[in-house]
Amino acid sequence: MGKFKTLDDLGDVTGKVALLRVDLNLPMADGRATDLTRALAVKPTILELAEKGAKVVLLAHFGRPKGERHSTLSLSLVQGEIERVLSKEVMFIPEVQGPVAKQAIGILRAGDIGLMENTRFWPGEEGNNPEFAKGIAANGDFYVNDAFSAAHRAHATTEGLAHLLPAYAGRAMQKELEALDAALGNPEMPVAAVVGGAKVSTKLVVLENLVGKVQHLIIGGGMANTFLAAKGVDVGKSLCEHDLTDKAIAIMEAADASGCTVHLPYDVVVAKEFAANPPSMRVCNVHEVAADEMILDVGPLAVEALGDVLKTCRTLVWNGPMGAFETAPFDAATVALARMAAALTAEGSLKSVAGGGDTVAALNHAGVAEDFSYVSTAGGAFLEWMEGKTLPGVAALER
Ligand code: ADP
Ligand code: MG
């Protein structure tokens, strides 16, 4: 991890304008946010800057307006939610640059908070247009990025501004980068990676990156079927990408060459139809799957063995559920392994970092999201980081 500045490096910012990039892309229904996770994540940074006496100006995107104003995608729609989360008044500013923005920011007093309009109303945002970024930077004294979830995009407010103003990582960004560094950048070894989910095709680069970095690669979920098929196992009518068997073999060979053990399930839970508690459900060895059966979860013996693997490890990075966890009882392996990881984390023998939309849902379902060392809600940015990519928003802070 390169070095980046944090709020600890700020001098006296009384009366200075902080341009703070946050993720306020809240899921909405009937004018109310259905989940406040993103707003809560950036609350500490907003309040810390306000307490330090800065004029805090929030920059965020909302939905996909594709460079045009849309009244239904105005950030004014979440202004009330942000005020409730912060227990503070927030002034809405219907522009991001130009005289209106300048005048509005001029009204803010030290410690006040402003919320600018949806940055994606202007094509310069996603185009990372330098003139657009300059127009925004003209009203600020320094830039803080607290939106890791948008850091895989080189946009004007996620990347461009960092070149124009003194740039700092906010507290949420800092926490995320430190957790990810401890999981894959500079981890305590041995490291185990759990990769599950539906398809190999969506996580090919993740798998290729991980085999060179971790000592144990645990493959579960639908993607395990592709690996099993590549080894000559008949997976019946399981979800399987037969066209990727060559890639699967290449990944297993690369793992061999770099001393990474690949763990595939040897017992599985199968059923003839995909439904909750189907009567045809049974547990069997992977070599006994019938032509009309599909694999829907990792079996109990394999889960126990995987728990033993985790006991020998110091670090765990997890993306993707082990089975079709939304439908009972195909959540069993995911829940059991997640609870083992949580227990080892509580004992202090394992640092556990997880991310991915369905993974977060699965850990919540297992009731252990709070017990992992860190759970990333960043989606695309988390996956690109698992792929070993440099995230432009992070690189710009590290210069
Ligand atoms: P994430 O969002 O955490 O990155 P993915 O989107 O890659 O995870 O995968 C999650 C999906 O994979 C879930 O909807 C789950 O039902 C599905 N899945 C897991 N195991 C299987 C399986 N054996 N067969 C079919 N689908 C599966
Ligand atoms: Mg998903």
Query: Model confidence over 246-279: pLDDT tens digits?
Result: 999 999 999 999 999 999 999 999 999 999 999 9
Residue 377, domain member (yes or no): yes
Do 139 and 260 belong to one domain? no
End position of a domain, from candidates 171, 201, 220 = 171
Q: Which of 111, 139, 171 is the last residue of a domain?
A: 171
Catalytic residue from among 38, 43, 52, 351: 38
Task: Give the Å distance between the CA of 240 and the centre of ligand 2.
Answer: 17
Atom of ligand 1 nearest to the CA of 199: 7
In a domain, 397, yes or no: no
Question: What's 19's domain CATH number?
Answer: 3.40.50.1260
Q: Positive or negative CA dihedral for 57, 83, 377, 120? A: negative
In tens, the pLDDT along 20-76 reads 999 999 999 999 999 999 999 999 999 999 999 999 999 999 999 999 999 999 999
Question: Taking Cα atoms as reference points, which of 176, 131, 81, 101 lies closest to residue 394?
Answer: 176
Cα first-last separation, the chain? 11
5 has catalytic annotation: no
Closest ligand, as measured to the CA of 361: 1
Both 115 and 229 in one domain: the answer is no
Mean pLDDT of the chain: 97
Kindly tell me the burial class for residue 282, based on how many C-beta atoms sit within 10 Å of its own C-beta (0-12, 13-18, 19 or more): middle
Classify residue 231 by its DSSP letter.
Answer: T
Domain-embedded: residue 382: yes
- Interatomic CA distance for residues 148 and 186, integer angstroms: 19
pLDDT at residue 81 tops 80: yes
Same domain assignment for residues 232 and 330: yes
Q: How far is the CA of 106 from the centre of ligand 1 (A)?
A: 50
pLDDT, mean of residues 145-174: 98
Residue 138 structural domain: 7-171
Using 50, 70 and 90 to split pLDDT, how confident is the model at 379? confident
> pLDDT above 70 covers what percent of the chain?
99
For 95-110, what is the mean pLDDT? Answer: 98
* Span 177-210, pLDDT tens digits: 999 999 999 999 999 999 999 999 999 999 999 9
Residue 1 has pLDDT above 70, yes or no: no
Q: What is the pTM of this model?
A: 0.94
How far apart, in whole angstroms, are the C-alpha atoms of residue 109 and residue 225?
A: 59
Tell me if residue 306 falls in helix, strand or coil: helix
If asked whether residues 194 and 160 sit together in one domain, one would say: no
Q: What is the mean pLDDT of residues 138-155?
A: 98
pLDDT band at 399 (very low <50, low <70, confident <90, very high): confident
Q: Domain check: are 379 and 283 in the same one? A: yes
- Parallel, antiparallel, or unpaired: how do β-strands 17-21 and 294-298 relate? unpaired
What 364-372 contacts at long range (C-beta under 8 Å, 24+ apart), as own/partner pairs, is 365/325, 365/331, 365/334, 365/335, 366/331, 366/334, 366/335, 366/338, 366/339, 366/342, 368/338, 368/339, 368/341, 368/342, 371/342, 371/343, 371/345, 371/346, 372/341, 372/342, 372/345
User: In the chain, what percentage of residues exceed pLDDT 90?
Assistant: 98
Decide: 58 and 83 in contact? Cβ < 8 Å: no
CB-based pocket (< 6 A), ligand 1:
196-198, 202, 221-222, 239, 295-296, 319-321, 323-326, 356-359
Is 394 inside any structural domain? no
Q: Are residues 218 and 125 in the same domain?
A: no
How far is ligand 1, taken at its centre, from the CA of residue 80, in Å? Answer: 35
Does residue 391 lie within any of the structural domains? no
SS3 call for 19: strand
E strands in the chain: 17-21, 28-29, 32-33, 55-59, 91-93, 113-116, 142-145, 167-169, 191-195, 216-219, 261-263, 267-271, 282-285, 294-298, 315-319, 351-355, 374-376
| C-alpha to C-alpha distance for 267 and 293, rounded to whole angstroms | 14
Minimal-distance CA residue to ligand 1 atom 5 = 197
Whether 345 and 311 map to the same domain: the answer is yes
Q: Give all strands (DSSP E) within 117-266, no chain letters.
A: 142-145, 167-169, 191-195, 216-219, 261-263
How many folded domains does the chain comprise? Answer: 2
**Same domain for 207 and 65:** no
Torsion of CA 62, 166, 397, 351, to 10 degrees: -90
Compute the average pLDDT of residues 216-239: 97
- Regarding whether 144 and 62 lie in a shared domain, the answer is yes
